[in-house]
Structure 1
Amino acid sequence: MTLVRRNTWPSDPFFEMDRLFNRAFGNSDLWPSAFKAPAERDFPLDVYGDEERYYVVAEMPGVAKDAVDLKVENSVLTISVKAESKGDGSESVRYLSRNITVGEDIDMDLVSAKMENGLLTVTLPKAEERKPRKIAIK
């Protein structure tokens, strides 16, 4: 029986290309970060929405609230994390960042975020003039 490794980052269209480059040339620090496996540069997240809001849910187990920085600028939500790990008498710090294009239909004054049980949930309400509305037929 052969086990097939599945792409756990379906939002990354270059995942398979990165995997093939790493398989052919080896995973080297000489490669730019774009050619490293997604686990080394990203954290998984889901983006979904309803009629009222968009939601971004990022998995960040073991990350403190004060290590996360959020900003929305030019219709792009940026989630940055300063991940510190300690072990075997050594410490390491990694900086991870994800950019999500959220569009121009967001009410910037009502954007909110909460961190609970290793999940960061960012709520992006749609602006009133952009919400879908039912039109009556006469």
Structure 2
Amino acid sequence: MNARDVLANYYVLANEGDWARWCELFAEDMVMDEQLAGRIEGRARLRSMMTGMGELYSAFENLPLHFLVDGEEAAVVSHISARSSSGAPIEAEVMNYFRIREGRITYMANFHDTQPFQVLSRADGGGGR
């Protein structure tokens, strides 16, 4: 699977809420710098974190707007429209940076305004994703 295919699957699976298959897009030794959750190392840790996504959000959609792929590196501009488990709306512009090797995401970092996600800790008693 080439980098563009990996990225397309990343967004399709996220929007389907298929977090188990979404995690399989990452290498075993992946590293993610996630703006809300901090640094995540290893697919097993990522998988355990993602089991709570269905409880944290009542709706979640991450629509890619622009893909930029250069060999094993890529950036995607997207927009998240979501609702917390209590129904509070979340709207955020996002920029994700990816490194992809041998069909797996080895590194990812995301950048977005954290303000829209504060409803997760206020309304739902959670601390973000």
TM-score, normalised on structure 1? 0.28
TM-score, normalised on structure 2? 0.29
Larger radius of gyration: 1
* Greater strand share, structure number: 2
* Greater helix share, structure number: 2
Structure of greater relative contact order (alpha carbons < 8 Å, 6+ residues apart): 2
